[in-house]
Amino acid sequence: MPLRHARHALLLAILCAAAAQAVEIDGRIDPAEWEGATHVVDFRKVQPLTGEPGSLPTEAWVLATPEGLAIAFRNTQPPEVPRTRQKVRRDFDEQVDRVNAFIDFDGDGRTGYAFTVSSTGGIADEIITNETQFSSDWDGQWRHAVGEDEAGWSVELLVPWHTAPMREGSGGERTLKVFLARVVGSTGERMAWPVASFERSRFLSDFAPLTVPLYDQSLLAVTPYVSGLYDKVGGSGEGNAGVDVFWKPNGRFQLSATVNPDFGQVESDDLVVNFSATETFVSDKRPFFTENQGIFEYTTPSDFSQLLYTRRIGGPSDDGSGASDISAALKLNGSFGGMKYGLFSADEAGAAGRSFHALRLVRDFETQNLGMMLTRVERPFLDREATVFGVDHNWRPTPRWNLRSRVFGSRIDQDGERSSDLGATLWADYEMDRGWRQQWIAMHFGNDLEINDAGYLSRASTNYLHWQVSRRFTDLPEASRYASTDWRWRVSSSHNNHGQKLNDQFRMSRQGQLRNGSDEYAQVNINGAGISDMLLRGNGIVRLPANFNAYYEYSRPRKGRWGHNVEAEVFGGGLAGNDRLGSALYYGATYFINDAFSVNAGAAFVRRPDWLIWQGPATGDLVGAFDGREAKLLAGLDWTIDPRQELRVKLQAIGIDASVRNAWRFDPAGNALAAADVVEDFSVRNLAFQIRYRYELAPLSYLYVVYARGGFDRRAIADGVDEALVDSFDLRDDEQLMVKLSYRFEL
């Protein structure tokens, strides 16, 4: 570079840095502060996905500063367009006025970070992987401010460079990708720049490239905690202490570590009573396991499947003594050259403790990326070692095509014996004209494929194919109550790896976005006859007749003081097929006492007239067919006391009543044979109640006070679903009061 050009570049960098340092995140957009920023005014509709100019003027500014990437929005909103005043808690999903800033720091379409600010100052942050897969479990540290006047409202936010590991730039610059959006709460309209949408198969890779000066930022954060728990049932208490460490010396390396972590119930999982052979998937909200976890994303089209499922760590111990304690865990993220890597390790305490390890490597190219992942779990109590290795490839050969392929295998060594098998998936999406799309998915999982020591797979022994055609309608007349509709038609076939048909299916679904901001979804499945090879847990197969199910959901955001949600389903199933139809109905409502205080309640009722439940290992292939009824009550309140304090109450109660109709055993072909075995009626009661107060002492530093009570009870009597639900409130297997204090020190 000639000397004069170098001097000009240096002078420009100094001037930009000086201007950037003057940006104050206060919600008031000062033109002098944002001089030199990238200015965006071409916001277009992406929900509905028309690409037309947005209905309300919106402007945004993006400016790289030494402290981070600064972004500002100016949202014009005249009085005739109602403004939502609702206060929302962190990671909200309510339909309110808000802006989104999505950033792919490496610009490779691999991992994105989403930052959302509502017009009332509420925030949400998410990680985006696999093009369109969002996870709100992660909480980052970033600054924001909101300002308002008669003509509209403004947002300023600053995302520090230490938010994510980033590859090294070149020539003093870094090219990242961004997506900026605004949502009008009263209508649900989303306008954005560029025209990209998570309703398409490609989202992350369609962000707009932006070249900025290369800034680097280091951070050392230490977060010690202390907690105390009093068990009111056992009459005993205990204390605990530990520490989390986060160290980022530069943009290319990041370390997270935790010693004696406390994962007390400051978050409560939803109640699920599951009698099926398929494990219930539960997301992970524990901070260490969500911090920059995107590098370890390795999923397949099978529901929730992944090679590293962090809820395994600290889960039920191998000796059956309850939840395992985690001694320590370590995670490294970084890059060298064009390669990104992740290292993960966690150890559980005690003789039954397990050791979990994972290695992830990813190499990105212009239109594709290639990765590998290795996981290993050592389970000494079971004399078991499990190793899984996978290779993944994402390819975008043209703007219309998106192809994702996975090949992975498992090797299990237990009690001196070894087993191994393979799995492979292919997922292809093709975007056509006038809203038409096609999708093909193929999956193969071998009989002996086992990834659930560290990962999650609902079932092995699968060969699955589907073809789907979709069309999105966005040019609806103004008189239509819908802003857009999306129709999908799918045919699929599934066999196990022994050549037995599980089922064929035809699915038709319709997604509707209404002009008043409401959402609607309807789906019909027609299922061919097939077999179940999981119901008997390895004791044979069950031949099932054809059946169907139809589902409908309607969600209306807050209008005035009320918000509503309705779900309804009619379904066949069991050995009766469509001769005995079951049904399910849910209604939930939220009443807003004011913008900061709301109460909610909901009730669900399910009738399963031919509910097949396996009777346990000692009975072999014995199955009871029950007339089952389930009632579920949900209630709670949310109070945003002020920007730092919130109070949440959450109640869930379940009552189940099941009267036996028949007892069945099965011949080798899976045909049902009436059995003389005695199968008993039963009822279930389940309760979870939590009161949680949270005070934010400083960013990512909290005081929690949590009271929780719950229990589970199963009885060999069917005494009515209403009585089971009422009796659930008497359960008191657990009753605890917990106080936890954590404070983040940045050094």
Return the structure tokens found at 458. Answer: 């609902």
Average pLDDT estimate for 385-407: 95
What's the pLDDT at 10? Answer: 42
Going by C-alpha positions, the residue among 619, 488, 461, 499 that lies closest to residue 201 is 488
Is pLDDT above 80 for 162? yes
Nearest-angstrom CA–CA distance, 617 and 619:
5
Looking at 458, 483, 509, the residue that finishes a domain is 458
Token representation of residue 211: 């070249």
Q: Are 414 and 383 in contact (CB under 8 A)?
A: yes
Question: Would you place residue 741 in the very low, low, confident or very high pLDDT band (cuts 50, 70, 90)?
Answer: very high
The CA-atom distances, in angstroms, between 363 and each of 127, 338, 379, 450, 668 are: 19, 6, 32, 26, 49
What residues pair up with 391 in beta bridges, in sequence order?
372, 407
- Comparing CA positions, the residue from 642, 639, 636, 643 lying closest to residue 689 is 636
Q: Would residue 728 count as lying in a domain?
A: no
What tokens does 245 get? 């460490």
Domain-embedded: residue 404 = yes
Bridge pairing between strands 111-118 and 98-104:
antiparallel
| Of 294, 337, 285, 342, the residue nearest 314 (C-alpha) | 285
pLDDT in tens, 553-582: 999 999 999 999 999 999 999 999 999 999
Position 453 in a domain: yes
Residue count of the chain, please give it.
747
Q: Which structural domain, as residue segments, surrounds residue 309?
A: 285-458
CATH of the domain at 112: 2.60.40.1190
Cβ neighbours for 358, distance < 8 A, ≥ 6 positions apart: 296, 307, 308, 342, 343, 344, 345, 373, 374, 375, 376, 454
Kindly report which listed range (12-26, 82-96, 697-711) carries the lowest average pLDDT score: 12-26
User: What SS3 string covers 209-273?
Assistant: EEEEECCCCCEEEEEEEEEEEEECCCCEEEEEEEEEEEEEEECCEEEEEEECCCCCCCCCCCCCC
Both 210 and 304 in one domain: the answer is: no
Position 318 in a domain: yes
Residues 696-715: tens digit of each pLDDT? 999 889 999 999 999 999 99
- Number of independent structural domains in the chain: 2
Q: List residues bridging with 523 in a β-sheet.
A: 509, 551
The answer to whether 613 and 663 have CB atoms below 8 angstroms apart is no
Residue 31: asked if its preceding bond is cis (omega within 30°), the reply is no
**In which band, very low, low, confident or very high, does the pLDDT at 264 lie, cut at 50, 70 and 90?**
low
DSSP three-state, residue 287 = helix
Q: Which two tokens stand for residue 361?
A: 């490597």
Place of tokens 């008189």: 479
Give me 584's structure tokens. 């399910």
Pairwise CA distance, residues 305 & 323, whole Å: 23
Chosen domain end from 458, 479, 496: 458
DSSP 726: H
Instruction: Tell me how far apart the alpha carbons of residues 118 and 74 are, in angstroms, rounded to a whole number.
Output: 13
Share of the chain above pLDDT 90, in %: 79
Q: Would you say residue 14 has pLDDT above 50?
A: no
CA distance 46 to 472: 12
Q: What is the pLDDT of residues 342-380, one digit of tens each?
A: 999 999 998 999 999 999 999 988 888 899 999 999 999
Same domain? 210 vs 327? no
Q: State mean pLDDT over 120-134.
A: 90
283 CB burial (10 A radius; 0-12, 13-18, 19+): middle
| Residue bearing the bigger pLDDT, 168 or 687 | 687
Q: Of the candidates 631, 697, 623, which has an alpha carbon nearest to the alpha carbon of residue 663?
A: 623
Whether the Cβ atoms of residue 555 and residue 590 lie closer than 8 Å to each other: no
Give the model's confidence band at 20: pLDDT under 50 very low, under 70 low, under 90 confident, else very high: very low
Q: Show the tokens assigned to 640.
A: 């945003």
How many Cβ atoms are within 10 Å of 364's Cβ, its own excluded?
Answer: 20
Residue 747: per-residue pLDDT: 84
Tokens of 246: 């986060």
Residue 182 lies in a domain: yes
Q: What is the pLDDT of residues 630-649, one digit of tens each?
A: 999 999 999 999 989 999 99
List C-alpha distances in Å: 400 to 76, 146, 489.
Answer: 34, 38, 20
What is the structure's pLDDT at 263?
58
**15 Rama sector, left if φ>0, alpha if ψ -120 to 50, beta otherwise:** alpha
Reduced 3-state DSSP string for 315-368: CECCCCCCECCEEEEEEEEEEECCEEEEEEEEEECCCCCCEEEEEEEEEECCCE
Q: Helix, strand or coil for residue 311?
A: helix
319 shares a domain with 182: no
Is residue 228, in this structure, part of any structural domain at all? no
Residue 315: inside a domain, yes or no? yes
Judge if 151 and 50 occupy the same domain: yes
Taking the C-alpha atoms of residue 137 and residue 283, their distance in angstroms, rounded to an integer, is 8
Using CA atoms in the order 697, 702, 707, 712, what is the torsion angle rounded to 10 degrees?
160
In terms of domains, do 202 and 311 share one?
Answer: no
Residues 316 and 183 in one domain: no
Which of 138 and 70 is assigned the larger pLDDT?
70
User: How many angstroms separate the Cα of 316 from the Cα of each of 323, 398, 713?
Assistant: 4, 46, 19
Answer yes or no: do 443 and 307 share one domain: yes
**Quick one: which of 671, 662, 656, 508 has its CA closest to 580?**
662
pLDDT computed for residue 682 by the predictor: 96
Residues 56-70 have pLDDT tens digits of 999 999 999 999 999
**pLDDT band at residue 251, thresholds of 50, 70 and 90?**
confident
Domain match, 142 and 32 both: yes
Q: What is the pLDDT of residues 502-526, one digit of tens each?
A: 999 999 999 999 999 999 999 999 9
Percent with pLDDT over 70 in the chain: 96
Average pLDDT over residues 200-222: 92
Does 98 reside within a domain?
A: yes
Contacts (Cβ under 8 Å, ≥6 apart) of 407: 390, 391, 392, 422, 423, 424
Are 297 and 206 found together in one domain? Answer: no
241 strand-pairing partners: 226
Boundary (domain end) residue, out of 413, 432, 458:
458
> Which residues, 6 or more positions from 550, have their beta carbon under 8 angstroms from its beta carbon?
522, 523, 524, 525, 569, 570, 571
**Residue 187 sits in the same domain as residue 293:** no
Query: Where are the strands (E) in 528-644, listed by range?
Result: 530-532, 542-544, 547-559, 562-573, 577-594, 597-614, 623-642
Say yes or no: 194 and 334 in one domain. Answer: no
Q: Dmax over Cα atoms in the chain, in whole Å? A: 96
Residues 6+ apart with CB under 8 A from 467: 438, 439, 440, 490, 491, 492
Instruction: Note the pLDDT of residue 6.
Output: 44
Closest among 593, 577, 591 to 543, alpha carbons compared = 577
Poorest-confidence range of 150-159, 278-287, 354-363, 592-601? 278-287
Tell me the pTM: 0.89
- Give the integer Cα–Cα distance in Å for 213 and 17: 9
